[in-house]
Structure 1
Amino acid sequence: MKMKKGIIIAVVAVLACGGGTYTYFYKYANTTKKQTAVQETVYTVKKGNIRSVISGTAQLEPQQQQTIVPPKEGMIKTINLQRNMNVKKGDLLLELSDSSLDEKLDSARLTLSQQQSDLADLQKQYDAQTIVAPAGGKFILATNVSEGAGVSKTTKIGTIANSSLLTVTLPFLQDEAAQIHKGDTVQLTIDGYMLTKTGTVDSVSSSVKSDSKGNRLLDVKINIDNDGTMDEGQIVKGTVPNGGINIESKATAALQYRTSQIVMAGVSGTIDSLDIKENRQVNKGERIGTIVNDTLKNDITNKQNQINQSNKSIADLEDQLEKLKVYAPFDGVFSTDFADQKKNVLTSYPVGTTISQGVSLGAVANMDVLQLPVKVDELDLLKVKVGQKAEVKVDAITGKTFTGEVTQLSTVGTTTNGVTTYTAVVSIKNEGDLKNAMTATADILVEDKKNVLVAPVEAVKQKAGKRIVTLKKADGTVEQDHEVQVGANTSTLVEITSGLSEGDTIVMQAARTQTKMNQQQIDQMRQQFQQGARGGNSGGGGGGGGMGGPPPGF
């Protein structure tokens, strides 16, 4: 071996698992106290797993939790709380009382009720401006009613009577009346007419009265179905046939309509028109006339505005009273331990006591889903995404791993001692084992790829915007800048997505500085190298062919 003057070279060949390792030591005789070592490692590309996690430890806490506090200072009206109890969303937990609000609300409701009654009356008057027949029958116009006449709500416009049904009440001697019964037939003679009509006894009075002659009399009420030949006001006398004798009434009486209905104006104003100006038959709903009232429409509008304002006042008062109530925000468990784990704070606040605003009575927590707020270093922040799975281990529960998911990632960091961290919230479904404040560690799975081509991270370099490796071909030649595409990586392995195949060989080189060897050490190294060279490089995987001489330049 020909060597330049002043240069000492030593080469050591070492076979390593998974690839051959060769190290060269060289130095310039007249320059440094240290020498550089160049180490070359051969790696066979194979399939493996890329699994990268970011870990954090914290205490478990409910995903949903709300402290129960009074909304203001006041007297407790209702408290439906126990130290530990299950609650349903919407359950009334606490209610305070405010007597002044209660009084205002009662007064406002009373005012509203009166206003609504007034509006109903005004609306009824508005509708009454058109006078209609409330029933069918004979309409009898009142004598003092005419177009242009002023009327009040209680002015009688007329009467509608059922002319087909008449009635009369006739007096009979007490002894004779005792023989008359309900349903008996009565023959009626109309005064001034040669007519006899038939009626039916409706009732016999039990009250005795006397006439001018001292006779003791009982009134008998008789109903008559009118065939159209009779009318109210006609004078009749009655005879009741009884066992071959006729019992006659002791006096006459005027026929009356059995049923009649008075038509009132219903509104103050002036009669504008009368459609019916004489007595005649009318149908139900038929228009009789109209009344004009110039202020009624404005009165209705004003009353509606008053009602609207009262409704707003009531709604505001009800809202204020509603704010004195505290409801369960969601299904869960209420516990006073969230306020004080040593004592039951509820014992200090029975119904009727005054409680200050903001006093914590405990909290409602949903223990179905717990969360773990772990800290993530700013260098790892971009690797963590919402939706990533996590493996959670709890210190108090050995041998069991829980599955979690990243549900929230903070955007504002916290800096402590120059280190900035962000909070990643991992949610875990609680199967019953997990408790609040348990210590747990979450491994957030950033990458979890199985059976992919992998290579050591140090084997992949970047050059001119490309990822390259040193590829050792099957014929022993070396391609220094072989381009590859990479995917996921850990701190030691990188995924090769293209550019290499399983079984390919890549070469890695690394240089390190060694302290200067003395002459004896150099001679020993040279001797070992020469002996190794004579023995050949069998088992070195073909690595010796390009490594038998000194580095280039020597």
Structure 2
Amino acid sequence: MKKRTKRIIIAAVIVAVVAAGAAAYGAVAADAAQAAKFGTVYGTDMATTGDITLTVSGSGNLKSAKNTIVNAAVHLDIENVLVSAGDTVETGQPIATLDLKKMQKYADDLESQIIADQNSLNTTISTSSSDMGGRSSTSTSTTKTPTSKTTTTTTTTSSGTSTTTITSPNVVTKFRITSPVKGWVKNIVAGTKESNNSIEETMKKYGYLAVVATEEKELISAAGSGLAQGDTVKVKCEGKTYTGTVVTKNGNLYVQIDTITRTVGADAAVYDQNGSELFTGQIQLAAYIPVISNYGTIVSVRVKENQKVSVDQILFKAEQYSLTVKNLYNEILKLQAEYKAVTDLISAGQLSASDSGIINTLNISNGQTYEEGAVLMTLDSPDDWVATVSVDEVDINSVQVGQDATVTLDALTGKTFSGKVERISRIGAASGGVTTYDVDVSVESDPGFKAGMSVTCEITSQQAEGVVMVPVTDVKNINSHSYVMVQVTRTEAEKKEIKEMINNSDYAGLSKYMGADASALGITRLADPVQLLYGEVRAVQTGIQNASYIEIKSGLTEGEKILAQTTNSNSDTQRNFMMGAFGADMPGGFTQRQSRNYAGGGR
């Protein structure tokens, strides 16, 4: 037994020399059975200053950030298509030849229509017709001064140039637009400066003049929120807090607020009863009827937003000029513009690109005819790119718009590109029991980029620079508080007493060696009291952490050493190694670990 002990002590001395200081924790008599009993080896880590970065990973594909839809400006008869999907085109580049015979036939038809409309116009200028603009309206006709209005239109066709002078009575029809139902007026968009009080412009832009809510309730979509019908929540919107109830309408889940004072489309945040945010959405009406009209000018708005109204109550007062003449005149102007565009194409003999870009989709074919407004192709910008990546549901709430990202592409090895989070989808895709969410990251451009390339994004979700930090494994938690075992120097007498207390399971006696913070944290004993031979409890406040390091906001300063457990095993092989390498003369071997470089706080 003595021979074995001597060999182990010599080995411990050698390790102590190499470890530069571990000898201070050296020989106190203990037999091999005691070492096997504790079987723990501790080293030290040093609190250092560095940076800790937390990233969220996502993978996906590259695509163009800007997409232009190219529509047919006029009727087209295609002869041969000159480009293909994937080609890069420049503005003015020929993309197809035209069937000139068919195009000329179409131009001739336009000319005939222009002549017919001019003849019709000439037969109606002596009379005026009125047409009420309101869906629910009454009207009276009056004549404003001056009593006549003169308009001159010039038409150029293959037959020559003709000039038509129109003199029409300046007849005005006044009418009222009334509410189709009883309810509450919302979204008044007519009679504003933006629409120039024009009913036509308002209807074109919004599709209505106002809406009348038929229920005094507003909704927020709760699809995918995890809430159930009947749940009560809090809703914050436009600086105020409301109580909401989860309801089902037409098979969909909504949060319902039983008042109707908020702005339709306003952002709203939904919270549980503990004040935790669940999701956000937009205010919408539970039920409504749009107020519509055809044409005219709003003279006055007779109601206010959120006002309660009855059936046939006046909402707007409006007026209009004689429309038969006006509509014919506008139709002639439109036909003239189309005739010029068609004849210009016939002269060119080909269709040219109106924009530059990469052809994503090509919808034209040889020998086909396309009418005005048809989608001919879509063009991707070669200079603006976005990576759409899938992020795990566990990480998605750490991602925010505006965060920086590093992007790499499988096809461009060795290159990294900077990016920024632009959009986060609120709709997840489930597969194999895992839900992921699409995140759009704008990426700096590169000539090697091609749509569809595989990308990986590292999104920086949090970063702490120049902070005190230690390895994550060195920090322990109790009662929602964190602590470390900070290294202290024990006298031989103290170490002897600690060992005796450990052997006698005298945990009450060991408490005096735990340090002042132990009592404050409510720690009465340690799972491994051997730590007290080398350190004591120190409370710390922690910050962010990654897989390797954790930020220490208070409790430690740079350069302080803390205990780090390196081995804890009950296997015979491991115990023999610990006794042979670190000394069987103490309950647990102790050595100072090699210094680490914490700079950058990498994983």
The structure with the largest alpha-carbon Rg is 1
Q: Which TM-score band applies after superposition, normalised by the shorter structure? A: 0.3 to 0.5
Structure in which a larger fraction of residues adopt helix: 2
Structure in which a larger fraction of residues adopt strand: 1
User: Given the two structures, how large is their TM-score scaled by the length of structure 1?
Assistant: 0.46
User: Given the two structures, how large is their TM-score scaled by the length of structure 2?
Assistant: 0.42
